[in-house]
Chain A
Amino acid sequence: MTAALRLVDLTVSYDRHPAVHHVSAEIPAAEMTAIVGPNGAGKSTLLKALLGLAPHIEGRIECTAKRIAYLPQQAEIDRSFPISVFDTVLLGRWSRFGGFGAAKPVDINDARHAIKAVGLSGFERRPIDTLSVGQFQRVLFARVLLQDADLVLLDEPFAAIDSKTVADLMVLIQRWRAEQRTVVVVLHDLEQVRRDFPNALLLARELVDAGPTARVLSADNLLRARAMAEAWDEHADACEVPMRLSA
């Protein structure tokens, strides 16, 4: 099993307080991995660090993926913005046409297919502020489809989404795995993780466990995760473990 991502003693901090603390783990390539943990466990921060968006990183991230697609939490997008479904999806091809080039017919065609694949045919010209949360999530999935990435990062894609939509979107995720893409998903629904995801990474600022889901999500580990996440010390001393492995 090759690793798509290798975290080596990774610490990510805001204002010197670590949100992710000395995490070393591997995320297998061409597999589906769920990142789980209580609120404030550093799951979104970890994704941001993988994208190079975290403010302060110590340790190392080794990534073999060439193209990364990222589905943010919906709160990070201005859903009242006047833009159509079609244009939003077509942005997935940014790497082809960049900020200034024109979209080619093949891109436009692919965008139509992606919109059809997520079940939104006929919605192309609709402004995004007329969509429901579930429909908008389908739009974002269509955009990820178009990005043709070898590493797909999804941050809580099923928050506040009904079960029919979750089932439809899970089909897409399964298909990505069949296409040998690495999929990393932040999730809260442990039942779903046990059912659909062969690998899991349990985070509580520090790594609790990473590996096969059945082992990682043991009752013991989950209890430990909760206890660790709640321990937050405003006046914590400087961490003594040598942090800087790389420049």
Chain B
Amino acid sequence: MLYDTLIAPFADFGFMRRALVASLALSIGGSSIGVFLILRRMSLMGDALSHALLPGAALGFLLGGLSLPAMSLGGFLAGMATALVSGVIARFSSMREDASFAAAYLTAMALGVLIVSLRGSAVDLMNILFGAILAVDDTALILVVSTTTVTLVGLAAVYRPLVVECFNPGFLAAMGIRGSLYHYLFLALAVLNLVAGFQALGTLMALGLILLPAVAASFWAREVWSMTLIAAPMAFASAAIGLLVSFHAGLPSGPVIVLFASLFFVGSLLVGARASVRMRLSRAVHLRG
């Protein structure tokens, strides 16, 4: 019974195994990106970024059909272009970066929907928007796993400057170090992860697996590295449970996975060790010193 519920789907079906490995890789790379996204107060900018992939992915689709490499490359270029353009606008005007980001991604999103509607059906659009983790093939798997490798190596390389740039940007600047370089390296890694996630979960859902575990982890950990260590297993657990539930109940996998990630978030919000509802209520009894 337990075997049938938990193991058999993966043992019997290749697509479930590939989906499981893909979500393991996405969880490890994506959740550490998510931790930095929330620490940089860029959670909503991450959302904007994920929408900005759309015109590139759509253009790839228009030129190369349903080819993953074409759509991924297009998505990555569109995401980076949006990030760079909004960064440049923010630097050369007095506009704040979140506003210029919103302007850029709304433009990108509209372009994307328009391009998809030129050729292709509503089914294609649904695929791009919501992904199909059960359709992950070997090419997609290699793409996802390579992304995770690049992400972990990249984050390890820029970890310290990135942390300092988050919490005290002036300190780096005073030492003549250009923090914006690390900012854009990080953005490139974030876009890369969104691209890797969009085949599996879709542009709209990919950010859920990246961000929700990171937010949940912030209710437990007190330092950046421990947040990352807590976020990754939570991401993988929500992916694995989500896959099983969607398999047995015949539900679309992307939303189910993201909903389980939000369960982790709500649970952490309620009983977490830091700033959670439980801690707030237990404040009624104060300590001696």
Contact = CB atoms under 8 A, between A and B. Distances in A.
A77 B168 contact: yes
Contacts of A84: 222-223
30 contacts: A15-B94, A52-B176, A53-B170, A53-B173, A53-B174, A68-B174, A70-B171, A70-B174, A72-B168, A72-B170, A72-B171, A76-B169, A76-B170, A77-B170, A78-B166, A81-B166, A81-B167, A82-B39, A82-B218, A82-B222, A82-B227, A83-B223, A83-B224, A84-B223, A87-B223, A91-B171, A95-B175, A99-B161, A100-B160, A127-B222
B138 to A, nearest CB: 35
A47 to B, nearest CB: 10
> What's the interface size class on B, roughly?
20 to 34
A83 B163 contact: yes
B164 interface: yes
Contacts, number: 55
A51 interface: yes
A133 to B, nearest CB: 16
Contacts of B177: 99
B284 interface: no
A51 B167 contact: no
Contact of B157 (A53, A68, A100): A100
B158 interface: yes
B175 A94 contact: yes
Interface string B156-196: 01101101101111110111110000000000000000000
B174 A51 contact: yes
Contacts of B157: 100
Nearest to B223: A82
B266 interface: no
B172 to A, nearest CB: 8
> What's the interface size class on A, roughly?
20 to 34
Contact of B167 (A52, A68, A70, A77): A77
A81 B165 CA distance: 11
Contacts of B168: 72, 76-78, 91
A52 B223 CA distance: 31
A82 B223 CA distance: 5
Contacts of A81: 39, 166-167
Nearest to B218: A82
Interface in A88-109: 91, 94-95, 99-100
B213 to A, nearest CB: 16
Contact of A70 (B160, B163, B170): B170
Greatest chain B CB density within 10 A among A15, A76, A78, A84 is at A78
A43 B156 CA distance: 38
B158 A99 contact: yes
Given A51-B173, A70-B170, A91-B164, 8 more contacts: A52-B176, A76-B168, A78-B168, A81-B167, A82-B221, A83-B224, A87-B223, A94-B164
B174 A83 contact: no
A84 B223 CA distance: 7
Contacts of B175: 94-95
B85 to A, nearest CB: 21
Contacts of A95: 175
Contact of A127 (B158, B176, B223): B223
A136 to B, nearest CB: 12
A51 B176 CA distance: 9
Interface in A37-82: 51-53, 68, 70, 72, 76-78, 81-82
The 7 closest A-B pairs by CB, nearest first: A81-B167, A99-B161, A70-B174, A127-B222, A78-B167, A51-B174, A77-B168
Nearest to B221: A82
